[in-house]
């Protein structure tokens, strides 16, 4: 029994650029799949195919058990789409935007009005409800866009980089909303280039690069692939590296890596926090003065590097959208709208 | 507990002609609301035709020979149907720019992911443009009356003349819709929607009688769909000149301008609506 979102062998090329190169996905009902990858990896193209916006060259896809290629309009009744570029009409008020979307989901005028009011309250937009969306901040627009995707409480949601370009506070707020949504039983496919976001929101993660799913599993499973946890120590003075190394070698499960310049020593371990306490006591006994010590678990960044051989090209805060466009356009990808 | 997932009404099945009409009206309403929020677009849309009325009337008016006379009064009578017709065709640029803007902003993606009638986004836009064109035409007719233009037929026929013009404008907004879906930026849609309108509207019977043109242009002008509407409106307004022959080349549309104008407009709608809706379904920037 395929899941709420199912794809098999999706292929899509634009000219000589292969955006999707045989993508398989299977998202069980009520779970969140994080589609993680750098710009141009094919994430947006996959979402566009699954939301009926784009015809794949090859492959099969089904959403909520309905064939995407054969019955696109049936699929549209069951999905909500929230895009990377907040797609609201900036000359309509927040309320007018939501009412219009409700009407186009075939609700009657009264129901659309009631629902718009509920969503505006829920997304803290009630005060701004009758202002045109052009006057909204980036975070408010994104919330309005998400509200528009939730007008009919679709069983399956697609969010294409929902927090790209948002400041940390707005990102946090949006994450809370998404978690509430998932707790309510919605199946969600989320694309992101923020590893932290996938880690926090997704049950399962599919790492995408060059139009292919190169790894999948839970966040923990993926991290396990890159090795377990490590103890990291920064000593106060260069001459303390040697004794610190002896201590770490005693506790470690592998070679001690040393960076002379930053006086940082790293060693793989098992045993967690308890072990860390022992390491600290032993270093103290030996009189090694430490600037910093910690138990480091691999991040999804580490996962990405070990899988692809390069870091995820996460754009820096504030310039995400520009960076996304700049990165995608020269390659001729249709990943981002210009 | 959660307002997000609670109690949202399950969408009922839309579809059919009623669903299509309903969705189109929802989109038309959206576009009309936008017009009230950006009134400068409507305003600028008015300035150019008003300028044309004034400039052509007073600058060219005494020099252009209509049926062997350069009497400015005659030229006014002759001119207005032409300016009206040119004005309605400018709806092309508005529709094109609006739709290109929607594509650019991601709104077309939003619409395409909704369970709504296929052609409704475009039909809604063209209907809203029709309302704007109607407003423009009303104001323009007022200005024309001020500078001395008069219709000489009964009110019913005059209204039919305006309907003929609006039908042409509606047809042209479908050309604009196709342009808007085909270009990459709203700016390109604006210029792409206007450039070809100049030769189209000038190689016609709108501003000067066709008999002064070289022979090959006479043929083009008299088969030009735009000329049929101008001639048709002129006839319904009672602005035909006794000394200007209906047709120089004997082209059929000039002999039956009202019918020809309707046929041309319907043909343009059929062709361009089909192409635009097809393009919309596969639209991707």
d(CA A224, CA A297): 10
Instruction: Say if residues B235 and B270 touch (Cβ distance below 8 Å).
Output: no
d(CA A145, CA A183): 20
Q: Is the pLDDT of residue A282 over 60?
A: yes
Q: Is the pLDDT of residue B281 over 50?
A: yes
Task: Report CB contact under 8 Å: A89, B113.
Answer: no
pLDDT the model gives residue A332: 34
Distances (CA, A) of B158 to A15, B7, B150, B153, B247: 54, 54, 11, 6, 22
H or E segment to which residue A264 belongs: strand A264-268
Reduced 3-state DSSP string for A159-202: EECCCCCCCHHHHHHHHHHHHHHHHCCCEEEEEECCHHHHHHHC
Tokens (6 digits) for B48: 């150019």
Task: Report CB contact under 8 Å: B9, A85.
Answer: no
Distances (CA, A) of B181 to A48, A305, B95, B101: 18, 40, 10, 9
Distances (CA, A) of A237 to A240, A265, A277, B74, B226: 6, 12, 21, 101, 87
d(CA A264, CA A241): 8
Task: Report CB contact under 8 Å: B106, A83.
Answer: yes
The alpha-helical segments, DSSP class H, found in chain A are 43-50, 72-78, 94-104, 109-122, 138-149, 168-183, 195-201, 219-225, 241-251, 272-285, 300-308, 320-328
Mean pLDDT of B226-253: 91
Q: Is the pLDDT of residue A251 over 80?
A: yes
H or E segment to which residue A79 belongs: strand A79-82
pLDDT the model gives residue B32: 95
pLDDT the model gives residue A328: 36
Mean pLDDT of A164-181: 86
Confidence of residue A322 (pLDDT cuts 50, 70, 90): very low
Q: Which residue has the tokens 């069983």?
A: A155
Instruction: Say if residues B174 and B268 touch (Cβ distance below 8 Å).
Output: yes
**A91 touching chain B per CB within 8 A:** yes
Interface test with A, best of B113, B188, B278, B282 (most A CBs within 10 A): B113
Q: Which residue has the tokens 């103890």?
A: A231
Task: Report CB contact under 8 Å: B113, A81.
Answer: yes
Residue percentage of chain B with pLDDT more than 90: 63
H or E segment to which residue B48 belongs: helix B39-55
**B36 touching chain A per CB within 8 A:** no
Mean pLDDT of A94-105: 95
- Measure CA of the first residue to CA of the last residue in chain A; give whole Å: 39
**B13 touching chain A per CB within 8 A:** yes
Q: Is the pLDDT of residue A110 over 90?
A: yes
d(CA A230, CA A227): 9
Report the candidate in B213, B196, B195 with the shortest Cα–Cα distance to residue B204. Answer: B213
Confidence of residue A317 (pLDDT cuts 50, 70, 90): very low
Q: Is the pLDDT of residue A85 over 90?
A: no
Confidence of residue A312 (pLDDT cuts 50, 70, 90): low
Task: Report CB contact under 8 Å: A153, B104.
Answer: no
Mean pLDDT of A14-34: 92
Q: Is the pLDDT of residue A337 over 90?
A: no
pLDDT the model gives residue B4: 54
pLDDT the model gives residue A253: 81
B265 vs B184 pLDDT, higher one: B265
Mean pLDDT of B77-95: 92
Confidence of residue B14 (pLDDT cuts 50, 70, 90): low
Domain range list for chain B: 20-284
- Cα of A14 to nearest chain B Cα, Å: 11
Residue percentage of chain B with pLDDT more than 70: 94
- Measure CA of the first residue to CA of the last residue in chain B; give whole Å: 40
Q: Decide: helix, strand or coil at residue A18.
A: strand
**A218 touching chain B per CB within 8 A:** no
CA dihedral sign of residues B218, B222, B226, B230:
positive
Long-range contacts of B202-209 (CB under 8 A, 24+ apart): B204/B82, B204/B230, B205/B82, B205/B230, B205/B231, B205/B254, B206/B81, B206/B82, B206/B83, B206/B85, B206/B86, B206/B230, B207/B56, B207/B60, B207/B64, B207/B79, B207/B82, B208/B64, B209/B65, B209/B66, B209/B67, B209/B78, B209/B241, B209/B244
Do the strands A5-14 and A17-27 form a parallel or antiparallel pair, or are they unpaired? Answer: antiparallel
Q: Is the pLDDT of residue A318 over 60?
A: no
Q: Is the pTM of this model over 0.80?
A: yes
CA dihedral sign of residues B234, B235, B241, B245:
positive
Q: Is the pLDDT of residue B277 over 70?
A: yes
Tokens (6 digits) for A218: 């839970």
B28 vs A334 pLDDT, higher one: B28
**A328 touching chain B per CB within 8 A:** no
Instruction: Say if residues A294 and A266 touch (Cβ distance below 8 Å).
Output: no
Confidence of residue B1 (pLDDT cuts 50, 70, 90): very low
Please tell me the least confidently modeled range out of A219-228, B35-44, B65-74: A219-228
> pLDDT for A253-262, tens place per residue?
888 888 889 9
Please tell me the least confidently modeled range out of A153-167, B7-21, B182-196: B7-21
Mean pLDDT rounded to a whole number for chain B: 89
Task: Report CB contact under 8 Å: B30, A132.
Answer: no
Q: Is the pLDDT of residue B7 over 50?
A: no
Mean pLDDT rounded to a whole number for chain A: 85
- In chain B, residues with a C-beta closer than 8 Å to the C-beta of A84 are 106
pLDDT the model gives residue A321: 36
- Cα of B127 to nearest chain A Cα, Å: 17
**B2 touching chain A per CB within 8 A:** yes
Rounded CA Rg of chain A:
24
DSSP code per residue over A278-295: HHHHHHHHTT--EEEEEE
Helices H / strands E in chain B, number of each: 13, 0
Nearest CB to A181; choose among B4, B12, B37: B4
d(CA B218, CA B209): 10
d(CA B82, CA A105): 43
């Amino acid at each position: 029994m395929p899941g709420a979102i199912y794809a098999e062998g999706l292929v899509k090329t634009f000219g000589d650029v292969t955006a999707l190169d045989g993508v398989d996905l299977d998202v069980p009902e009520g779970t969140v799949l994080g589609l993680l990858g750098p710009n141009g990896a094919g994430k947006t193209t996959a979402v566009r195919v699954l939301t009926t916006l784009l015809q794949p060259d090859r492959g099969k896809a089904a959403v909520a058990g309905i064939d995407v290629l054969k019955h696109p309009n049936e699929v549209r009744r069951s999905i909500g789409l929230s895009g990377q570029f907040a797609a609201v009409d900036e000359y309509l008020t927040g309320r007018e935007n939501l009412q219009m979307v409700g009407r186009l989901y075939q609700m009657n005028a009264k129901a659309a009005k009631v629902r718009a009011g509920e969503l505006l309250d829920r997304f803290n937009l009630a005060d701004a409800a009758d202002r045109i969306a052009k006057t909204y901040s980036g975070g408010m627009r994104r919330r309005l866009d998400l509200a528009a995707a939730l007008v009919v409480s679709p069983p399956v949601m697609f969010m294409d980089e929902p927090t790209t370009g948002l400041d940390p506070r707005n990102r946090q707020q949006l994450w809370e909303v998404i978690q509430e949504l998932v707790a309510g039983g919605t199946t969600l496919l989320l694309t992101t280039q923020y590893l932290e976001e996938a880690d926090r929101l997704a049950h399962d993660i599919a790492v995408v690069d060059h139009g292919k799913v190169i790894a999948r599993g839970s966040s923990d499973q993926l991290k396990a692939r890159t090795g377990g946890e490590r103890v990291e120590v920064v000593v106060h003075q260069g001459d303390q590296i040697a004794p610190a190394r002896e201590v770490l070698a005693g506790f470690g499960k592998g070679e001690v890596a040393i960076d002379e310049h930053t006086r940082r020593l790293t060693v793989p371990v098992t045993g967690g926090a308890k072990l860390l306490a022992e390491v600290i006591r032993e270093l103290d006994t030996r009189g090694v003065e430490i600037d910093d010590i910690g138990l480091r678990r691999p991040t999804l960044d580490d996962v990405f590097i070990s899988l692809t051989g390069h870091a995820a090209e996460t754009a820096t805060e504030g310039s995400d959208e520009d960076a996304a466009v700049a990165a995608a356009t020269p390659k001729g990808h249709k990943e981002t709208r210009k | 507990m959660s307002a997000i997932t609670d109690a949202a009404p399950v969408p009922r099945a839309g579809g059919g002609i009623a669903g299509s009409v309903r969705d189109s009206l929802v989109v038309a309403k959206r576009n009309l609301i936008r017009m009230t929020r950006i009134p400068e677009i409507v305003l600028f849309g008015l300035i150019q035709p008003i300028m044309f009325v004034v400039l052509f009337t007073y600058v060219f008016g005494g020099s252009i020979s209509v049926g062997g006379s350069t009497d400015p009064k005659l030229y006014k009578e002759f001119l207005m149907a032409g300016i009206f017709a040119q004005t309605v065709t400018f709806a092309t640029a508005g529709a094109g720019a609006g739709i290109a803007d929607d594509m650019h902003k991601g709104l077309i993606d939003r619409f395409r992911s909704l369970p709504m009638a296929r052609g409704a986004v475009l039909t809604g836009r063209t209907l809203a443009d029709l309302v704007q064109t109607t407003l423009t035409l009303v104001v323009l007719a007022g200005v024309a009356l001020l500078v001395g233009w008069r219709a000489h037929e009964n009110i019913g026929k005059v209204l039919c003349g305006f309907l003929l013009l609006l039908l042409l404008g509606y047809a042209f907004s479908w050309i604009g819709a196709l342009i808007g879906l085909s270009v990459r930026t709203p700016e390109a849609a604006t210029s792409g929607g206007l450039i070809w309108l100049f030769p189209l509207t000038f190689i016609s019977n709108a501003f000067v009688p066709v008999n002064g043109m070289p022979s090959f242009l006479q043929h083009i002008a008299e088969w030009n769909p735009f000329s049929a509407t101008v001639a048709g409106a002129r006839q319904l307004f009672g602005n035909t000149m006794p000394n200007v022959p209906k047709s120089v080349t004997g082209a059929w549309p000039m002999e039956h301008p009202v019918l020809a104008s309707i046929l041309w407009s319907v043909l343009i709608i059929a062709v361009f609506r089909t192409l635009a809706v097809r393009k919309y379904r596969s639209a991707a920037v």
